[in-house]
Chains A and B, each alone.
Chain A
Amino acid sequence: MIGLLWALGGALAEEPVAHTPPPVAPWAQVGAGLELRPRAEAAEFIAARAGFEAQSSLRLGVEVSWAPSRALDLLGDTRGYSAVSVGAGGWWWAGGAWSPGLGCVVELSSRSFYGAEGLVERVFIPALGVEASVAVPLGDRAAIVPSARLTTDLRRVELRVAGDPVELLSPWGLQGSLTVLIPRVEAR
């Protein structure tokens, strides 16, 4: 009996095996780009992303971007829209110098449509995007990342003037951007 209690006490006194999770590795990315959309003026945008490294090759995060007003071809120079987008996504990096990467983003875009008199309407458009990138090392800590992203709106926008439908805003957008990524993608 005493032996049993001794063994039990010894078992309880043993230190538990440490299973501390690895520290969460944060990352951030900022930059600017150009968005092309059919029948709309090309628009510059700025973007920032941040998140954590879920695995050695997968980075999850959120992003925000802003694009100033762009004119729409069929509506004249005084009518256009600006956009603010927030999104979440994952970016997979192959690793190594000049690491290729693929990303997938779900975003919500707030588009403010302007006329000569000012704001006409603000609408919210969900969108999906897929992105291909290359992370080029820029020193020990950072990488410069040229990217191309194809986006598609999940809601169409019909533009009317005085009640007459003029056009449907194209749901397709192509973005090219140049961003700085910290930390850079490590070689594996």
Chain B
Amino acid sequence: MIWLLLSLWACELKVVVEYPGETGLDSGADTGDDTGKHARGHAGA
């Protein structure tokens, strides 16, 4: 029970890791269709 409460509490203590650029994703983001949503610079990165 304590474990569960600690885990829930931990959800609020979030730290952000920010990766620069956007190429190289394996999730299908780089489909070749440039809709503009993911076209923020770093085209050659």
Interface residues of A (CB under 8 A from B): 73-79, 113, 115-117, 120-121, 123, 125, 128, 152-164, 166, 168, 171
Q: With A76-B26, A78-B24, A160-B18 in contact, is A171–B10 under 8 Å at CB?
A: yes
Decide if B19 touches A159 in the complex (CB within 8 Å): yes
**Chain B residue nearest in CB terms to A158:** B16
Instruction: Name 6 A/B residue pairs within 8 A (Cβ), A-sorted.
Output: A115-B19, A123-B17, A154-B6, A155-B10, A160-B16, A166-B25
B35 at the interface (CB under 8 A from A): no
Q: Which residues in B have their C-beta under 8 angstroms from that of A128? A: 3, 6
Decide if A75 touches B6 in the complex (CB within 8 Å): no
**Chain B residue nearest in CB terms to A122:** B17
**Number of inter-chain CB pairs below 8 Å:** 86
Report, as a range, how many residues of chain B touch the other chain.
20 to 34
Q: Which residues in A have their C-beta under 8 angstroms from that of B26? A: 73-77
Decide if A161 touches B15 in the complex (CB within 8 Å): no
What is the CA–CA distance of A134 and B21 in the complex, to the nearest angstrom?
47
What is the CA–CA distance of A164 and B18 in the complex, to the nearest angstrom?
9
Q: With A158-B16, A161-B19 in contact, is A152–B27 under 8 Å at CB?
A: no
Most A C-beta atoms less than 10 A away, residue of B14, B19, B26: B19
Decide if A79 touches B6 in the complex (CB within 8 Å): no
